[in-house]
Amino acid sequence: MTERTLILVKPDGVQRGLTGEILRRVEAKGYRIAALQQLDASTEKLAKHYAEHEGKSFYQPLVDFMLSGPVVAAVLEGDRVIEGFRSLAGSTEPTTAAPGTIRGDLGRDWGEKVQKNLVHGSDSVESAEREIDIWFS
Protein backbone atom coordinates (compact mmCIF):
# COMPACT_ATOMS: atom_id res chain seq x y z
CA MET A 1 0.00 0.00 0.00
CA THR A 2 1.34 3.42 -0.94
CA GLU A 3 1.80 5.83 1.95
CA ARG A 4 1.28 9.57 1.94
CA THR A 5 3.16 12.12 3.99
CA LEU A 6 3.28 15.86 4.42
CA ILE A 7 6.51 17.75 4.04
CA LEU A 8 7.03 21.43 4.62
CA VAL A 9 9.89 23.49 3.28
CA LYS A 10 10.16 25.91 6.17
CA PRO A 11 10.67 29.68 5.76
CA ASP A 12 14.48 29.36 5.96
CA GLY A 13 14.49 26.90 3.05
CA VAL A 14 12.18 29.07 0.95
CA GLN A 15 14.08 32.28 1.77
CA ARG A 16 17.41 30.65 0.86
CA GLY A 17 16.06 29.42 -2.49
CA LEU A 18 16.38 25.73 -1.57
CA THR A 19 12.84 24.58 -2.43
CA GLY A 20 13.87 23.30 -5.87
CA GLU A 21 16.86 21.39 -4.49
CA ILE A 22 14.77 19.84 -1.72
CA LEU A 23 12.03 18.77 -4.16
CA ARG A 24 14.69 17.48 -6.59
CA ARG A 25 16.01 15.19 -3.87
CA VAL A 26 12.49 13.97 -3.11
CA GLU A 27 11.87 13.12 -6.76
CA ALA A 28 15.34 11.62 -7.21
CA LYS A 29 14.51 9.28 -4.32
CA GLY A 30 11.52 8.11 -6.36
CA TYR A 31 8.65 9.68 -4.43
CA ARG A 32 5.72 11.28 -6.23
CA ILE A 33 4.61 14.82 -5.43
CA ALA A 34 0.82 14.51 -5.26
CA ALA A 35 0.09 18.09 -4.14
CA LEU A 36 2.19 21.22 -3.85
CA GLN A 37 1.54 24.78 -2.73
CA GLN A 38 3.38 27.82 -1.44
CA LEU A 39 1.55 29.78 1.23
CA ASP A 40 1.91 32.00 4.24
CA ALA A 41 1.08 29.96 7.33
CA SER A 42 -1.54 31.32 9.72
CA THR A 43 -1.35 31.29 13.50
CA GLU A 44 -4.43 29.04 13.54
CA LYS A 45 -2.92 26.52 11.11
CA LEU A 46 0.33 26.40 13.09
CA ALA A 47 -1.55 25.98 16.38
CA LYS A 48 -3.21 22.88 14.94
CA HIS A 49 0.01 21.57 13.40
CA TYR A 50 2.11 22.01 16.55
CA ALA A 51 -0.67 21.35 19.11
CA GLU A 52 1.34 18.66 20.94
CA HIS A 53 4.10 21.23 21.64
CA GLU A 54 1.87 23.98 23.03
CA GLY A 55 3.16 25.14 26.40
CA LYS A 56 6.74 24.00 25.77
CA SER A 57 9.51 26.60 25.86
CA PHE A 58 10.25 26.31 22.14
CA TYR A 59 6.61 26.55 21.00
CA GLN A 60 6.27 30.33 20.54
CA PRO A 61 9.71 30.83 18.93
CA LEU A 62 8.85 27.98 16.53
CA VAL A 63 5.48 29.52 15.63
CA ASP A 64 7.10 32.94 15.17
CA PHE A 65 9.73 31.39 12.88
CA MET A 66 7.08 29.57 10.83
CA LEU A 67 5.20 32.88 10.44
CA SER A 68 8.35 34.71 9.27
CA GLY A 69 7.91 33.90 5.58
CA PRO A 70 6.21 31.61 3.10
CA VAL A 71 6.35 27.83 3.39
CA VAL A 72 6.01 25.20 0.70
CA ALA A 73 3.72 22.33 1.60
CA ALA A 74 3.77 19.07 -0.34
CA VAL A 75 2.04 15.73 -0.15
CA LEU A 76 4.38 12.92 -1.13
CA GLU A 77 3.36 9.40 -2.08
CA GLY A 78 5.38 6.21 -2.18
CA ASP A 79 6.19 2.97 -0.42
CA ARG A 80 7.48 3.74 3.09
CA VAL A 81 7.58 7.45 2.18
CA ILE A 82 7.25 8.60 5.81
CA GLU A 83 10.34 6.72 6.93
CA GLY A 84 12.13 7.46 3.66
CA PHE A 85 11.63 11.21 3.75
CA ARG A 86 12.66 11.44 7.39
CA SER A 87 15.86 9.60 6.49
CA LEU A 88 16.38 11.90 3.51
CA ALA A 89 15.83 14.98 5.72
CA GLY A 90 18.38 13.89 8.34
CA SER A 91 18.38 14.52 12.06
CA THR A 92 16.69 17.70 13.30
CA GLU A 93 20.03 19.16 14.43
CA PRO A 94 21.65 20.40 11.20
CA THR A 95 25.14 20.71 12.68
CA THR A 96 25.31 16.98 13.34
CA ALA A 97 22.98 15.73 10.59
CA ALA A 98 24.69 13.19 8.34
CA PRO A 99 26.27 14.35 5.09
CA GLY A 100 24.07 13.43 2.16
CA THR A 101 20.88 14.43 3.98
CA ILE A 102 18.96 17.64 3.34
CA ARG A 103 19.82 19.06 6.76
CA GLY A 104 23.37 17.70 6.72
CA ASP A 105 24.21 19.21 3.33
CA LEU A 106 22.16 22.40 3.37
CA GLY A 107 21.51 23.31 7.02
CA ARG A 108 23.51 24.77 9.86
CA ASP A 109 22.99 26.36 13.25
CA TRP A 110 22.41 30.10 12.90
CA GLY A 111 22.76 30.79 16.65
CA GLU A 112 19.11 31.76 17.08
CA LYS A 113 16.45 30.79 19.65
CA VAL A 114 14.76 28.39 17.24
CA GLN A 115 16.39 25.65 15.21
CA LYS A 116 16.05 26.55 11.53
CA ASN A 117 16.30 23.11 9.98
CA LEU A 118 14.76 23.62 6.52
CA VAL A 119 12.08 20.91 6.42
CA HIS A 120 9.35 19.11 8.31
CA GLY A 121 8.17 15.59 7.60
CA SER A 122 5.31 13.70 9.24
CA ASP A 123 6.46 11.07 11.74
CA SER A 124 3.65 8.51 11.39
CA VAL A 125 0.68 7.56 9.23
CA GLU A 126 -1.65 9.15 11.79
CA SER A 127 0.35 12.39 11.88
CA ALA A 128 0.51 12.47 8.09
CA GLU A 129 -3.27 12.18 7.78
CA ARG A 130 -3.83 14.91 10.38
CA GLU A 131 -1.18 17.23 8.92
CA ILE A 132 -2.30 16.80 5.29
CA ASP A 133 -5.82 17.76 6.41
CA ILE A 134 -4.45 20.90 8.11
CA TRP A 135 -2.39 22.10 5.15
CA PHE A 136 -4.58 20.86 2.26
CA SER A 137 -8.13 21.16 3.63
Tell me the catalytic residues: 120
Phi-psi region of 112 (alpha: psi -120 to 50; beta: other; left: phi over 0): beta
**DSSP state, residue 69:** S
Looking at this protein, which amino acid is placed at residue 126? E
Beta carbons within 10 angstroms of residue 8's beta carbon: 21
Distance CA 89, CA 91 (A): 7
